[in-house]
Amino acid sequence: MWQPVLMISGYILGILGLIMLIPAGLDMFGQGVDWSPFLSSAMIVIFFGFALFLSNYTKIENITLKQGYLITAVSWISVCLFSAIPFWFHHSVDTRIDAVFEAVSGITGTGATIMSDVESLPHSILFWRSLLNYIGGLGIVIFAVALLPFLGIGGMQIFQHENSDSNDKFMPKFSYIAKRIVVVYLVLTAISAGTLFLCGMNGFDAVNHAMSAIGTGGFSTKNNSIGFYNSVPIEFFTMLFMLMGALPMTFYILLYRRSNPDRNKQVRVFLKMVAAYALCLGGYLYFSSDYSLWYVIRYSLFTVIAVVTTTGLSSCDYTEWGVWVAAAILFLSLTGGCTGSTAGSIKIFRWQVIYAFLRKYLLSAIEPNRVILMKIGAVNMPEKATMSVFVYVFSFIISLIGMTLLVSACGLDLRTALSAVTACITNVGVGAISAIGPSGNYAFFSDTVKSILCFTMLLGRLEIITILVVFTKSFWHK
């Protein structure tokens, strides 16, 4: 059972090591450093990765369910741990747990940071942070459209027919999907970087923010994030690219093929919800404060998009808007983007399923003899997939409560604990209180709390069930 798991995990680590050579080049050539900590990190990761790959090499024709769960858990955890090595070697963090926290936050696309002054960091570290956002974003998309339907998690079975070829075996399908997604991902990033550059960002910042926006990760090269530029064009296009990252990658493939993208109803529902949220938040700010109409439109829309897409970039400090807004931010972070996108949290599709089930139940209460189908767009929702959605959402809520109580037991007040855990499990990154909001960071937490939050970020990013099922006793029985 373990041989293909270790082989694939080793291959992924080897690729990670090769990617580390990019920031190593920034260190050695861009900034004139004789020896880059990224080079030594890359050598270590490449050695361990390809040694693991070669020692477990085998021809894989199919993957079992248990192997699918293990590949996901082992590869993501190992990538997070090895991604932390450059932070530690570069002395950009104080402790090893800080290095792991920054790496986990990056690769899961959370964007929570323990660094208080990112502008003082060398370009190689800044680029590595954004690159982790980018790698994690691509990884979660492939995971969502290839592995989740295969594992049957969270109702993703209904997307299986849209994302598979004529071969029923997992590995050929995985390769087929991955190639298409990578192309779409690279094209969107290139468009984003080019546009931000034309809007006034320098080339380095444009590339970094493009990776963060499309990957919905949230790491920025500036302490004040997008607010540093105080530029309407930059804010507008950043909002656009965050939205693009939160739409399914397969949606763009349908557009390119001139297929009917309207069958993906979650895209329309997602955009309508973003508009409704922005209208509600903007209306509240306008009528309850002295802010001008232009201020309200500009900053409330950016904040809503950044939170709902779970990107976490900021153009202002929304924690200054009052307690009601803080509560609203917590609620918005539970929405999430579309299935098959780089966004985190519960996601729109699952809320559609819950709404459709509630509607069916209410209609059945009035007309018990009426046959009512549960449809999401043009797709009939199977009972098994519906149950999977409810299991996922229930597990999400239980995990949120459990982790909040665990963090509170470490000495934090309930409000701080809830805000931190919600920001991490939804992968939004920035919290609803000032300490960990757009102007704050996670550095003041103890190592124990940071460790819990690292696990929370992984739990949320890997759809809860993927991690929990590995801890069940029956999983390890023959």
- What digits encode the pLDDT tens for the residues 90-140? 888 889 999 999 999 999 999 999 998 999 999 999 999 999 999 999 888
| Tens digits of residue pLDDT in 215-248 | 999 999 999 999 999 999 999 999 999 999 999 9
The pTM (predicted TM-score) of the whole model is 0.91
Give the pLDDT of residue 141.
84
Give the pLDDT of residue 442.
95
| Tens digits of residue pLDDT in 315-344 | 999 999 988 998 999 999 999 999 889 998
Give the pLDDT of residue 272.
93
Residue 151 in this model has a pLDDT that exceeds 70: no
Residue 257 in this model has a pLDDT that exceeds 90: no
Cα-based angle 342, 241, 86 (whole degrees, multiple of 5): 55
Tell me how far apart the alpha carbons of residues 420 and 408 are, in angstroms, rounded to a whole number. Answer: 10
Q: How many other C-beta atoms can be found within 10 angstroms of the C-beta atom of residue 68? A: 20
What's the mean pLDDT when you consider all of the chain?
Answer: 88
The dihedral sign for the CA sequence 402, 407, 411, 413: negative
- 379-380 and 375-376 strand pairing: antiparallel
Give the pLDDT of residue 407.
96
Residue 167 in this model has a pLDDT that exceeds 50: no
Give the pLDDT of residue 261.
53
Q: Indicate the angle between helix axes 232-245 and 203-214, nearest 10 degrees.
A: 40
Residue 450 in this model has a pLDDT that exceeds 60: yes
434-450 average pLDDT score: 93
141-163 average pLDDT score: 63
Q: What percent of the chain has pLDDT over 90?
A: 60
Highest mean predicted confidence (pLDDT) among 25-39, 165-179, 196-210: 196-210
Q: What is the DSSP letter of 230?
A: -
Give the pLDDT of residue 162.
44
Q: Which of 65-69, 125-129, 157-161, 343-347 has the lowest mean pLDDT?
A: 157-161
Give the pLDDT of residue 164.
41
How many Cα atoms sit within 13 Å of 276 on the Cβ side? 8
CA distances to 62, 108, 182, 311 from 134, rounded to whole Å, are: 28, 10, 11, 12
